[in-house]
Amino acid sequence: MPIRPHLLAAGLAGLSLASAPACARDGQAGEVADKLSDPQAQVAASAALAAMAQTILDLDVSSYVRALSAMGGDESLRHLPPDATLGDLAGPGAERMPRTIARNVPRAMGSAAEMARAIDEMMPQLKETARKLKRSLPRY
């Protein structure tokens, strides 16, 4: 089953940004938003994630392909070269993935920054809601 390049790109970007909301505790959300909005940080993250994607696409999977073929696996694997990579398995368009990631990371980081700012603004309400919930729950 071919891997969709845009799904892999989204996954890599998501992994890089997954920690942003977790860092947004007690006044740190504004700092997180500032870091995510920083153009230099966005360029650095874009370059790092594009390099990571390229490295992953370049992974040698030839032994895996040989094992599947020996077990009578998927016929579509027979066309792969002996030095097959994950990019070969990903199929057409996979070579564009690093550029796509690099192009989309700044926008994703900007969106995460806006979310962090929203969390920062909502924090007093969220704390009050937590206090009310704690008072309303039965004690055992």
DSSP calls for 6-65: HHHHHHHHHHHHTHHHHH--TTHHHHHHHHHH-HHHHHHHHHHHHHHHHHHHT-B-HHHH
Nearest to 109 by CA among 54, 26, 53, 47: 47
Low-confidence residues of the chain, pLDDT below 50? 1-2, 16, 19-21, 24
pLDDT at site 88? 85
pLDDT at site 24? 45
pLDDT at site 74? 64
pLDDT at site 1? 43
pLDDT at site 92? 86
pLDDT at site 9? 55
Task: Please state the separation of Cα 30 from the chain's center in Å.
Answer: 22
pLDDT at site 6? 54
The single-letter code of the amino acid at 117 is R
